[in-house]
Every structure is written in C-alpha cells, then in structure tokens.
Amino acid sequence: MKKLSAVSVLAGMMVLLAQTLVAGQEVNIPQLVQQAPPLETYGSPDGVVWQRHESYGLRSDGAMTKDSLWVVMTTQRLDRNWPEKVLVIPSIGELEIQEASLFDPVSGGKIRSLTYDVEDLSGYKKLSMSLGDEDEAVLVLRFRQIYPRRMSVEGLIYPGGDLPVWEGSFSVSIPAGSELFIDSNRMESPKIDKSGGKSTYTWTTYNVPEVKRASMVRRGEPYLAFGLRSDKAPFLGLMSLLNRIDVPPMPQELERLGRMGDKGKAGKRLMKALDSMVIPGSQRAIRESIPPQGPWTYWERALILRSWLEGLGWRAQVVWRTSLPIGDRDPFMVENLRVPVLRAAPPGSDYWFYVPGQTVEPGKVPPSLIGKTLYGGSPEEGLLTYSLDRGKVEDHRLTFSWNLELQSSGVLEGVLQLWVRNGWLELFPDTDRLTWSDLEKVVPGIDRWRAGEPSVSPMDYGYRIDLPVRRNMGIPGGPGMLLRLPCLLPGAVEDLVSVAPSQELLFPFVMEQKYSLALPEGYSLMSTPGMSDRREGELRFSENLRLSKKRGSLEGEAKIIAPSSRYDDQFSHGLSRVLGAWMRWRDMSIPLTVKK
C-alpha cells in the first residue's frame, strides 16, 4: 500500500477559488475606548474582548485562509501569555502576524509592539508571547493562518471563551454556486451577500458572556460549524488517508517487546511506554514528517501506536471521539475530530477501547469514554459507530467529604476530599495542572478554604483530590458556640437553574456532601435542625445530621440523585427546589454547648 505524507492527508478536499478579507479593517482605538462598555458591565472579568472578527476563504492555489482581528481590553489579572491561546501555528501551514500591539486605554496611543518567539520541535511549532507588566492596556492582534492544499473552507467556532465578547463577526466566502453546509446552536441566521463571483455568509454576535466553566448540558454552548462537504464520505476518506500515513518504525529500545512470548502483555507495555511521549497542547496536529523519536503530537502518537501494535500481532484501529455527530447533512470539518481512541484487540481476544495516556489500566474503559459515541470506518466498511454505555447513575457520583476538627475558637480545619467519578471528569480541570484557581472556576467558593496545596490520587473511575482546608465557621458565645457548616455547589449544577428546557444532560448524576466534624473536648450538640427527605419528580434529596457520642463528632450527609439525563420542565422546577434544600446547609446554625 502506498504511504502518504501528512500534507496529502489534510489536502483531501474539493478545489475552489479565492476569497477576500473581512478582518482587515483599521482599528480606531480612541473611538472604541469611547464606545465600548466599561469592564464593570461584565462584573469583574480579567479582560473584555471588544472586537473579534474572523474571515474564512480560499486562495486560488487551494489553500484555506483564516484572517483574524482581536481587540482586547486587558487587566493585570489576565494571564500574561493569553495571546498564545489564539496565535496558533497550523501544524501544516503558516501563521502570519500582521500586528501585535498594546495601546493606552485612555489616550488610545500606542504603547509598544509585542515581540514573540517560536519554538520548533522537529516541525511542531509553538509561539510564545507575553503581555508584559502593563496594568491595563488594549491588545490588538491581527493575523492570518494559512492551511495549504486544504481545498475546502471549513471550521468549528465557539463564539464564547474565557473572556466576555462585546462584538464579534464570522464570515465565510465560497465560490458562487457552491453549497455551504451549516450546523449551529444559539446563533442568529447569517446575512448572505452574493456578488463578485462568490457568496459570503456573515454571522454577528453581541455581548457574549464569558464561558466560566463547562456545561452539564449536551451541546449547551453556542457554536457554528460549516463546511463545503457533508455526509459520511469525507470523514471516511480522511480515515483511509490517516491509516496510510507513513509512521516511523519501532525504536531499538522497544524492539525487545516483539520478542516477548505473551503478545498481549507486550502490547500493554508498549501502551505504557508511550503514555508520556506527547507534546502538551498538540491536539489536532500532524507534522509533515513524523519524527522517529518522541515526543509526538496526540494524533501522531495514536497512529504510531496503532501501527506498532499491529506489528506485535494485535488488531488495532483508530476511531474518534468528535465534538459534533457525523450524519448525512452535517458539515465535515477536520476540527470536529476531538480525541483519537484505539480500538484494539490482543491476539485471541476481543476488542476494547484505549485512550493513549489514560489513567486506568489498558483493557478497562477510561472514564472519559463512558456514555460517549465514537466514529470510525473506511470507504470500504462504511461508517462504524460505537456507543458506549453510560453506566448506572451511581457511577457518576461527585462526593465532597469533609474530615474536619473544630477548635474552641470556631475554626474548622482538616481535609476536604473531593471524589470525582466518571461523567464529572468532563467538568473538572486536567489533573496534571490542578490549582486552587482551576477548582474555584468549577466549584465557586472553594478557594476560601485554601490552607495548602492540592494533591491528586488517580482512581479507576476518576480521581480523588485532597485539599487542606481551614476557615472560621463558629461564633463562640456563652457556654457554647453557633457553628455553620461548610457547603459547596458545583457551578455547572447551579447554572442548570437558568437553562431552558428541553435539553439533555451529559450524564445522570449523584452529588453528595459528607461531614465528619470532630468537636473540642466537652462540646456536645444542643439540638439539630429539622431534617427531611423529598422527591421532586425523578429527583431525590436526602439529608441527615447526628452527634456520634462515641467519636465525639458531628456526622451528616446531604445527597441529590438525578437518575435520568432528561432535562424537561419537571426536572427544571424540581431542581430549583432540591438545590434550595442543599444550600440550606450553608445557612444552618448548629448550637453547641460545652460542659464546665
């Protein structure tokens, strides 16, 4: 079989004609300063995107171009390397920076141009740029990304991001007579201009709020997907091309695996050996020539592992977790391919799924795949779809376990264990880079308890985060104390209250908060607040609080069970009530008395 370079793979699209810019307009900073809403309009964000304009089209040589203009009001709180999030160099292509400057937000005068460095890892290029030490400044980024021989115009856009956006526009130009396939969520219809031998589709957005965290609703965020091709054929064609990419041979230090008698064990050792051989942040990237030595990009590692496993006598295929479904009228875009997954079978065994780098042992389904749909196949086989079971509701359990000691001063101190299981992993940060700030975005208010650095323990179903915590929660007075209990609520659950039915949740769930509070010597419970269980449609809430005289501690639990992924009117109304019962724990005052 003839092997292909990665350039040939990404060029398997239709031949079209050239386009024009939309993002090339001049920026009038003084005028924007006068017209744009102040930061306070959006609360207290780290910055505001005043303007975001993107224009997609094709050159006469078949290269797809994406022209972008970003005008951002920045503050000192904004990550100093924020420009790197948008200044992405295509793995096969070019990035042309036309302007990268900071302006004074009062006078509108230019402060300085921003410099940058490019790190080249055997063909994988990453740009580094810093905002410097300005307290407040207006950042202007104007750049072009070029994707050679793409032979199509396509994209997947999320208008929201980590900063609120005042105004945005997205335009796509295609030759007259061509059909543009579109899929969108919570986007207005485009304006269409047909002139000059082309059709230009333009979408505009206004006052898009920042995306503070991941949503529990399936396809809940606004998005725009488009492409000149649809149906399953282009996806299957790309699968065929990916399978024909020339990958490097197994290095000498791993060849010993081929001499092992147990090929199943040899393959699993190979998987482990490649776990860490990946370039951070290199999703959706394949270099023109895959180097013989790692680290590799995420896509390269999956293709290499498939080939090397086959060399050990395994059956192996690369299938894909996608951002959007693949269907008859859905637009095709390379950006839809999200995570490569190995469907692998040791000699004489059945197939199972493996995500390179997963924390669970090979052969076990990683939590990131539970309830997901994977796509694979070839032009000869057709589209192959694999739907993984969502599991039972109790599989998707989030536990806040408070193991604390109460001091006579009213301070609670100890450890909060956060058990993140299966579906909840979609909402929590990457454990490799876990910080209190990351957790605060997911669980508002948790940072107030900070008393040390988090530690993470991987589990088969997810991970456990141990958090040293400390906070004054008691009010001493008279012969005792009034104690308030800790109570946290994931932001994604709170966000559901404002979601309009009908929707589908990512997963059914259990959310529980457990308490074990050791009391100071001589302290006891005067009385307990009334406890009651309740049922709201399918939703169930239970709670209990008691004094363990044997352990000298307060023991309690609050739990919400949502056994279905269906989010309808009944669920919406019931959720508001059970969350009210959950949050009551935050306001309860527990009277304690002390023996003299």
Query: Given this model, what pLDDT does residue 324 score?
Result: 93
Percent of the chain with pLDDT over 90: 77
Bridge partners of 194?
199
Q: Tell me: pLDDT of 558 over 80.
A: yes
CA dihedral 317, 323, 326, 328 (to 10 degrees): -160
Query: Given this model, what pLDDT does residue 23 score?
Result: 52
Q: Tell me: pLDDT of 113 over 90.
A: yes
Query: Given this model, what pLDDT does residue 277 score?
Result: 94
Query: Given this model, what pLDDT does residue 22 score?
Result: 41
Omega prior to 122 cis, within 30 of 0: no
Omega prior to 295 cis, within 30 of 0: yes
Is the alpha carbon torsion for 220, 223, 228, 234 positive or negative? Answer: negative
- pLDDT confidence bin for 24, thresholds 50/70/90: low
* 159, 187 contact by CB (below 8 A): yes
Q: What is the mean pLDDT of the segment spanning 230-247?
A: 91
In 3D space, the residue among 113, 123, 55, 59 whose CA is nearest the CA of residue 89 turns out to be 123
Distance between CA atoms of residues 58 and 38, nearest Å = 37
Q: What is the pLDDT of residues 500-526, one digit of tens each?
A: 888 899 999 999 999 999 999 999 999
Q: Where in the chain is the domain with CATH 2.60.40.3140?
A: 29-228
* 165, 211 contact by CB (below 8 A): no
Query: Given this model, what pLDDT does residue 146 score?
Result: 97
H or E element that contains 462: strand 462-472
Q: What CATH number has the domain spanning 29-228?
A: 2.60.40.3140
- pLDDT confidence bin for 218, thresholds 50/70/90: confident
Q: What is the pLDDT of residues 459-501, one digit of tens each?
A: 888 899 999 999 999 999 878 899 999 999 999 999 999 888 8
Query: Given this model, what pLDDT does residue 564 score?
Result: 92
- pLDDT confidence bin for 25, thresholds 50/70/90: low
Bridge partners of 404?
414, 517
Q: What is the mean pLDDT of the segment spanning 289-315?
A: 95
> How does DSSP classify residue 22?
S
> How does DSSP classify residue 250?
P
Q: What is the mean pLDDT of the segment spanning 282-304?
A: 93
Q: What is the pLDDT of residues 38-52, one digit of tens each?
A: 889 998 899 999 999
Query: Given this model, what pLDDT does residue 430 score?
Result: 74
For the chain, the average pLDDT equals 91
Two tokens, residue 458: 């991987």
- pLDDT confidence bin for 28, thresholds 50/70/90: confident
Q: What is the pLDDT of residues 303-342, one digit of tens each?
A: 999 999 999 999 999 999 999 999 888 999 999 999 999 9
Query: Given this model, what pLDDT does residue 34 score?
Result: 87
Bridge partners of 227?
154, 181
Percent of the chain with pLDDT over 70: 95
- pLDDT confidence bin for 154, thresholds 50/70/90: very high
501's CB contacts (< 8 A; 6+ apart) are: 567, 568, 569, 571, 572
Q: Where in the chain is the domain with CATH 3.10.620.30?
A: 233-387
In 3D space, the residue among 170, 180, 156 whose CA is nearest the CA of residue 205 turns out to be 170
Crossing angle (nearest 10°) for helices 298-311 and 263-273: 160
88-111 b/e (C-beta count within 10 Å ≥ 16 → b): bbbbbbebeeeebbbbbbeebeee
Q: What is the pLDDT of residues 446-458, one digit of tens each?
A: 999 999 999 999 8
* 18, 60 contact by CB (below 8 A): yes
How many residues are given for the chain?
596
Among 13-27, 29-43, 140-154, the range with the most confident prediction by mean pLDDT is: 140-154
Q: What CATH number has the domain spanning 233-387?
A: 3.10.620.30
- pLDDT confidence bin for 528, thresholds 50/70/90: confident
Q: What is the pLDDT of residues 371-405, one digit of tens each?
A: 899 999 999 999 999 999 888 999 999 999 999 99
Global pTM exceeds 0.85: yes
Q: What is the mean pLDDT of the segment spanning 182-204?
A: 95
Q: What is the pLDDT of residues 336-369, one digit of tens each?
A: 999 999 999 999 999 999 999 888 899 999 988 9
Distance between CA atoms of residues 145 and 526, nearest Å = 68
Distance between CA atoms of residues 354 and 369, nearest Å = 9
Full DSSP string of 462-503? EEEEEEEEEEE-EEE-SSEEEEEPP----HHHHHGGGPPSSE
Query: Given this model, what pLDDT does residue 433 score?
Result: 72
- pLDDT confidence bin for 30, thresholds 50/70/90: confident
Q: Tell me: pLDDT of 5 over 70.
A: no
